[in-house]
Amino acid sequence: MSVSIFIDGEAGTTGLGLAQRLRAKPEYSLISLEDAHRKSPTARADAMARADLTVLCLPDDAARAAVETAPPGARILDASTAHRTAPGWAYGFAELAPGQAQRIAAATKVANPGCYATGAIALLRPLVAAGFLPPEHNVSLHAVSGYSGGGKEMIAAHTAMGGPAFELYALGLGHKHIPEIMAFSGLVRRPIFSPGVGHFPQGMLVCLPLFLDQLPGSPSGHELSEAYREYYDGAQGVIARAGIYAGTLQPDAMNNTDALEILVCANGQYDHALLIARLDNLGKGAVGAAVQNIGLMLGAAE
């Protein structure tokens, strides 16, 4: 017997990708609205009442409004930024900490993580938990993503003839993923986060540079690598590579997968390290995480 899912906002990038993935799974059936009714509060509330789970692929304000009109007890997975740090919502990064997958499975309201935040938290939290990175440490994060996660205007700019090769953005240093990075990484000092977009559709690198001699105990790169391997041992969606990496990296190597890869680059002579999370911004960074959370919430996880 299949379970029913309503994607509110199915016409957007995340909604379309999620619908395609779910239609390929016989355990799920989708409740869809005709174009004329997609913005009707009555039709949407009725669809939420009929669904075993509703996924919100909406702008933040619309997602908040949808939650306010949801039937009592409705199970909701929100892919927007609106509820990622809100009380009463489980954070949908199943590999965040021991027991997090169980918390997601038991929750009626789950917030799907942001793509950049997924990479940043995956890098930061194990180091804070192991005592290698003090919560008040000065942290800088640098990232590059494919343009598919940037919304209709950015997608149009990059798919047009002569689109930009690369662009930095959020240079007011107030990117919307910073609150969830702080909430779930263990940091208490706000990091500097500088994201960029490359002229490619999918893929993401999130980078954390560190001066090892400024950390407690001056850990080596190998110690950091081992800390990641221990933290993510047995994790479904995070692959912590052993040892020190010194090659080149392409941001799209994890495309069309639901996994996140962690690599440690280090130079012991200078006590420098560069820690890197690589993921598909539409995979583990969006749709893949949603599919994983849906499976957990509905008891159908692989």
Asked if residue 302 has pLDDT above 50, the reply is no
Give me the percent of the chain exceeding a pLDDT of 90.
Answer: 87
Topology annotation, domain 3-113+286-297: Rossmann fold (3.40.50)
Asked if residue 176 has pLDDT above 60, the reply is yes
List of E strands, 75-214: 76-78, 90-91, 109-111, 140-145, 166-168, 192-198, 204-211
Alpha carbon distance 267, 265 (integer Å): 7
Asked if residue 161 has pLDDT above 80, the reply is no
Alpha carbon distance 280, 202 (integer Å): 6
- Check if 115 is active-site: yes
Which of the following is catalytic: 57, 115, 207, 265?
A: 115
Alpha carbon distance 121, 124 (integer Å): 5
Give me the mean pLDDT over the 119-134 stretch.
Answer: 98
Q: Look at 287 and 158; give whichever has higher pLDDT.
A: 287
Give me the mean pLDDT over the 50-65 stretch.
Answer: 96
Alpha carbon distance 276, 259 (integer Å): 14
Which residue bears the tokens 């420098």? 272
- Identity of the residue numbered 150: G
Q: Look at 125 and 36; give whichever has higher pLDDT.
A: 125
Those residues with Cβ within 8 angstroms of residue 115's Cβ, 6 or more apart along the chain or in another chain: 145, 149, 177, 204, 279, 281, 285, 286
Topology annotation, domain 115-281: Dihydrodipicolinate Reductase; domain 2 (3.30.360)
pLDDT tens across 264-296, in order?
999 999 999 999 999 999 999 999 999 999 999
What pLDDT band is residue 38 in, cutting at 50, 70 and 90?
A: confident
Q: In the prediction, which pLDDT does 300 show?
A: 56
Token representation of residue 102: 């169980």
Spans of all domains in the chain:
3-113+286-297, 115-281
